[in-house]
Amino acid sequence: MPAQTPIRPADLHGAQRLAIDATLRVTDLVEAMHLNIARAPWIFGETALGRTRGITGLVYGSIRTITAGVGSTLDAVLGPALQLLEAQLESGTSHPGREAVLAAVNGVLGDHLADSGNPLAIPMRLRHRGRALALERESLGHAFPQASGRLLVLVHGLCMNDLQWRRKGHDHGAALARDAGYQPLYLHYNSGRHVSTNGEEFSALLETLLEHWPVPVQELAILGHSMGGLLARSACRHAELAQLQWRSRLRRIAFLGTPHHGAPLERHGHGLQRLVGISPYTAPLARLGMIRSAGITDLRHGNVQDQDWQELDRFGQHHDARQPLPLPQGVACHAVAATNGRRAGDLTDTWIGDGLVPVVSALGRHADPRHCLDFDAARQSLHYETNHWDLLDSTAVYERIAGWLQPG
């Protein structure tokens, strides 16, 4: 087995750039607080915008100039050398601990990492056993000499990665390969980007996969955990708009704890951010809440289409502006919900659910009929005393999924 590398050269380069970005943002925050405190406004008065002046302004400006200069110099000096070292490690597999940290950073800051070209940004790719697949017929034929025509693509959730489908020795993908004849492939992506942006790229990736798969694809199924389920719905919509061929091969989707109508944690965080912004003395601190990624803010209501967020202030918007999107037609859609509660009707179902996603959101139920997702009663499953991550290794959950995804 190739050596696993806990830290790669690109990680050092990316961390250096992130530190420079953080220093610049903290400087802006401190200056904004300085400006408002110096004005001594009423506690709920108007928040001052702009920068400080005079010697104070010169000091803050100097900090920005020096910090930006240091960042540019490090990029110019270290960048090429670290890229060369990185290329020499391509044959090594990545350490699971590194993968977990990188996934968490991408979940929280992924849109900024992608927009700034930071090496820490995770590119979208399909992987198998932690290795990226080259989507070319010859390469795929070599990687899968006994390729199956039944493909299963597993899509992880926010702040996670494809290796984390294995939990407590169980992996739904490997088990479905054994019990139902699927060839499992795992999507690895930057979960901090908008769901619809990732959905469009995922859709294009599936089209390339089916075009180059070494044997004819008879059936495609998707298993999405948490945000991964939103990504699957978004990809379907993009495929329909672009009339892509893979959509006609999709037969089944299983959603595990997917926040179809959002998650309370993001809504509470949004409310806290607005509360902090009430006073000019604390308003600059609200900027800390604005570092959270587009992927996280999409979970406020469960955005899956571009029009759900385009031309809107994602930090200012508090109402549900989504366009209704039903389940994809011609696809057997299955929903698994979990709750920490012990019995039906427990308040835990409504307010907490599995710890992150309420039961009604995971089952696609909504007070507005336009947003209700019509899962067939036989294709819904609720599991008690089960949390969001237990969905990845629960025997009862797996048995239900395996029953749904059997051929025929």
In the predicted model, what is the mean pLDDT of residues 299-312? 93
Residues 83 and 168 in one domain: no
Predicted local confidence at residue 88, as pLDDT: 45
Residues 242 and 168 in one domain: yes
CA 331: distance to chain centroid? 23
Residues 236 and 348 in one domain: yes
In a domain, 282, yes or no: no
* Number of domains into which the chain is organized: 2
As a whole number of angstroms, the distance between CA 383 and CA 336 comes to: 8
For CA atoms 202, 205, 209, 211, the dihedral sign is: positive
CA 85: distance to chain centroid? 29
Residues 234 and 333 in one domain: yes
As a whole number of angstroms, the distance between CA 185 and CA 152 comes to: 6
Three-class HEC string of 178-232: HHHCCEEEEEECCCCCCHHHHHHHHHHHHHHHHHHCCCCCCEEEEEEECHHHHHH
The last residue of a domain, from among 78, 94, 110: 94
Percent pLDDT > 90 in the chain is 57
In a domain, 308, yes or no: no
In the predicted model, what is the mean pLDDT of residues 178-204? 97
pLDDT over 60 (residue 78): no
The rounded mean pLDDT for the chain is: 83
Tokens representing 332 are 């057997």
Higher pLDDT, 106 or 81: 106
Predicted local confidence at residue 3, as pLDDT: 45
Higher pLDDT, 44 or 1: 44
Q: Which of 232-241, 267-276, 303-312 has the highest mean pLDDT?
A: 232-241
As a whole number of angstroms, the distance between CA 63 and CA 28 comes to: 10
Element (H, E) at 150: strand 150-155
In a domain, 306, yes or no: no
In a domain, 107, yes or no: no
Number of Cβ within 10 Å of residue 163's Cβ equals 19
pLDDT over 90 (residue 218): yes
Residues 347 and 214 in one domain: yes
pLDDT over 80 (residue 406): yes
As a whole number of angstroms, the distance between CA 220 and CA 202 comes to: 14
Predicted local confidence at residue 64, as pLDDT: 67
Q: What are phi and psi of 125, to 5 degrees?
A: -160, 160
Determine whether 1 is exposed, middle or buried from the number of CB atoms within 10 Å of its CB (0-12, 13-18, 19+): exposed
Residues 233 and 342 in one domain: yes
**Tens of pLDDT along 143-175?**
999 999 999 999 999 999 999 999 999 999 999
Does the pTM surpass 0.85? The reply is no
Residues 137 and 42 in one domain: no
In a domain, 283, yes or no: no
Percent pLDDT > 70 in the chain is 70
Q: Which of 109-118, 127-136, 268-277 has the highest mean pLDDT?
A: 127-136
Strand, helix or coil for residue 158: coil
∠ CA 294-296-298, nearest 5°, is 70
Residues 326 and 366 in one domain: yes
Higher pLDDT, 343 or 274: 343
pLDDT over 70 (residue 288): no
In a domain, 170, yes or no: yes
Domain membership of residue 74 as a residue range: 4-94
The last residue of a domain, from among 74, 94, 114: 94
CATH code where residue 394 lies: 3.40.50.1820
Q: Which of 338, 330, 407 is nearest to 176 (CA)?
A: 407
Residues 90 and 129 in one domain: no
Contacts of 402 by beta carbon, 8 Å cutoff, 6+ apart: 175, 176, 179, 180
In a domain, 102, yes or no: no
Residues 259 and 333 in one domain: yes
Higher pLDDT, 76 or 141: 141
Q: What are phi and psi of 47, to 5 degrees?
A: -80, 130
Q: Which of 131, 133, 130 is nearest to 212 (CA)?
A: 133
Q: Which of these ranges, 38-52, 117-131, 273-287, 382-396, has the smallest mean pLDDT?
A: 273-287
In a domain, 259, yes or no: yes
Residues 173 and 31 in one domain: no
Residues 233 and 326 in one domain: yes
Task: With cut-offs at 50, 70 and 90, classify the pLDDT of residue 407.
Answer: confident
Continuous H helices in 89-171 = 96-115, 137-143
The last residue of a domain, from among 94, 117, 140: 94
pLDDT over 50 (residue 1): no
